[in-house]
A and B are shown apart, each in its own frame.
Chain A
Amino acid sequence: MSTNRNNYMNPYLAGFLLGLVLLASFVITGRGLGASGAIRSVVISTVGSLAPDYAGQSAFYSEFFSGASPLGSWLVILVIGVILGSFLSGALGNRLAFKTDRGPRISVRTRLMFALGGGLLFGLGAQFGRGCTSGSALSGMAVMSTGGILTMMAIFGTGYMIAYFFRKLWT
């Protein structure tokens, strides 16, 4: 663990590089980075293909019927890039291993349950926020959008407000 920690890049350098990637994204394509949009595309096209009648009843799935295929979508390709890039970095840093990351006071089982629940909330919240920490908060901050910065403050503000009650999970 202690050797791993030293392997990580200096956080300010990492932030600077991430900022440059984000800037390049704006300069080349006119938009920021995002992650939850790709997962949304997966849900929409999966449900749309398996149960078109069900999907047809909700405006949420209109994207599916407008004919945008998930593989062709920009955000999905972006996430495929994320998978390649993080695999490369993990391999170079010797960090590829199957394990469950958890606080010292909880069991693996508890951790996995909370991960599932947390994912569910994050997936839901990212719809209302029109993006997650990267698409709404980070990219929104870079363009100084009011909505993006509000979402960012709400994510971290809520996190700090409730952290105490869930401290057993992490400390």
Chain B
Amino acid sequence: MAPLIPQGLINPELNLFFALLLGIGFGYVLEQAGFSSAKKLAGVFYGYDFVVLRVFFTAGITAMIGLLYFNHLGWIDMNLVYINPTFLYSAIAGGVIMGFGFILGGYCPGTSIVAAVTGKIDAFLFIAGMLIGIFVFGHFYHRFESLYTGHFLGNIFVYDSLGFSRSWFALLLVIVALLAFAITQMIEDRINKTSPEQIKSRPSHVMPAMLLIAAAFIFLLIPEERKSNLRERSPEAMWAEIYDGNPFVSTHRVIHEVKNHRNELVLIDTRNKAAYDRFSLPGSVHIPLEEVLHRRWRSLFDKDPRPKVFFGDGSSGATMAYMTAARAGYDRVFILDGGLNKLFDDLFTETEIPDTTAYNLQDRSTARFLNEARRFFLEGGVAAREEEERPRIKAPEESEIIPVIGGC
């Protein structure tokens, strides 16, 4: 279902309207938390005020757990969410430079805007400095480019980098955050010489902390497999369909398609690349099993109204591809019954055209059809067509379908 705009559930033109709304919420909360004061912000590095750590960590964990829940319930497709790419040394160098900027300037970009709005003159200077800093980056971009674009590790997740499961990492992060909250509160009290009565009079945070741990702990108990979207079908319904024979398309239908150049089916070759390169049906597109759910094929499955027929040498590979696609909610997917082997058996087994009697009109026409097709195939009609037609459907470029651009 979500993200709503990349999924097309909300008009993309409203995107900017939501940007405004989200910005208002963002700015309001930052100001309410006291982020319009550089002195308060810098407190996190000197121990007299840890508000930055509290707000920042709480926000990060809230959003992280929220996303985990949405993902587990199948409410959000994380493939469509922008995951910050990891350019190893650029990420670290940028962080180090920003660390210096934070200590010297007392703000970060978001908070400097909030502070400037509430009238802090130093924040205006900070913003002016940022404009210069970005200009400097642009001016020396040719020098920075190798660092900036080097060591790209992909849009990787920290739990994979550390070798944890996602659920364990989430729980660990929650515990680290809670410990940090407790310890920094003690440090803050000591530095500010808070009186013991004042500390005692504070409301207890034990309950919310326990709730938070419980919320993260639940992920350890529920399995990682989850629905990727709402249209997903149940295994029982799919078995019933296969049992009824619904998803099978006969070899005769496919021979008819190829021979007469009908262009009514999308033929999908699920065999490996070498086999596909050696020979495939004319006009067929190569989508091996492991790529069926790849998001670059999504528009083919979702938007192309023609039936999609999976085929392999036999039926088993195609059936697995069919199951994968149908489970994910793709409609109008089929299996070539018996695969290429049966197709060639049908084509190249010589059959006599039976004599006409009143009872075998159907057999006669089938045999005649196969005889014609055999001649067509043997005379090279297919080979010629294959040259001109393959590939009829090209794999879309990866970059075309990354739906959201990033960050800050």
Contacts and interface: CB of A to CB of B under 8 A. Distances in A.
Contact of A170 (B46, B51, B117): B46
Contact of B133 (A35, A124, A156): A124
A33 B159 CA distance: 22
A138 B43 CA distance: 19
Interface in A93-120: 93, 95-103, 111-112, 114-120
A35 B31 contact: no
Interface string B129-141: 1111111111101
Given A29-B15, A123-B129, A159-B103, A14 B158 contact: no
Nearest to B122: A115
B97 A124 contact: yes
Contacts of A137: 56, 95
Secondary structure at the A interface, as helix, strand, loop or mixed, is helix
A74 B105 CA distance: 27
A123 B57 contact: no
B239 interface: no
B31 A85 contact: yes
30 contacts: A5-B34, A11-B33, A11-B34, A12-B181, A18-B59, A22-B62, A23-B66, A26-B81, A31-B81, A32-B63, A32-B407, A35-B408, A39-B131, A75-B19, A77-B20, A80-B23, A84-B20, A86-B36, A101-B120, A114-B105, A119-B107, A121-B97, A122-B97, A128-B137, A130-B90, A134-B110, A143-B83, A158-B100, A161-B99, A169-B106
Size class of B's contact patch? 35 or more
Contacts of A121: 97-98, 100-101, 104-105, 129, 133
Interface in A1-52: 5, 8-9, 11-12, 14-37, 39-40, 42-44, 47
A125 to B, nearest CB: 3
Nearest to A124: B133
A146 B45 contact: no
Contacts of B45: 159-160, 163, 170
Nearest to A90: B118
B127 A158 contact: no
Contact of B95 (A100, A103, A125, A167): A125
Contact of A169 (B55, B103, B127): B103
Contacts of B127: 39, 119
Interface residues of A, number: 123
Interface in B110-150: 110-115, 117-123, 125-139, 141-142, 144-145, 147-148
B46 A167 contact: yes
A59 to B, nearest CB: 6
Contacts, number: 565
B18 A29 contact: yes
B64 interface: yes
A166 B131 CA distance: 24
Given A123-B131, A128-B147, A132-B108, A89 B119 contact: no
Nearest to A151: B95
Contact of B38 (A34, A40, A101, A139): A101
Contact of A119 (B130, B170, B405): B130
Contacts of B94: 125-130, 136, 151, 154
Most B C-beta atoms less than 10 A away, residue of A21, A37, A131: A21
A143 B159 CA distance: 11
A39 B133 CA distance: 10
Nearest to B39: A101
A56 to B, nearest CB: 12
Given A15-B58, A39-B134, A171-B48, A9 B32 contact: yes
B330 interface: no
Interface of B: 2-6, 10, 15-16, 18-34, 36-39, 42-46, 48, 51, 54-64, 66-67, 70, 75-76, 78, 80-88, 90-115, 117-123, 125-139, 141-142, 144-145, 147-148, 153, 155-161, 166, 169-170, 181, 205, 208, 403-408
A29 B63 contact: no
Given A8-B33, A21-B29, A43-B131, A170 B39 contact: yes
Contacts of A84: 20, 23-24, 27
Contacts of A153: 95
A140 interface: yes
Most A C-beta atoms less than 10 A away, residue of B97, B117, B130, B156: B130
Contacts of B123: 101, 115
Contacts of A81: 19-27
Nearest to B10: A28
Given A23-B66, A81-B20, A159-B45, A18 B29 contact: yes
Given A19-B61, A115-B129, A118-B103, A40 B134 contact: yes
A99 B121 contact: yes
B86 A147 contact: yes
Given A86-B36, A129-B94, A167-B46, 8 more contacts: A15-B54, A37-B406, A37-B408, A40-B134, A80-B20, A88-B27, A90-B117, A130-B94
A119 B101 contact: yes
Contact of A74 (B16, B139, B148): B16
B19 A77 contact: yes
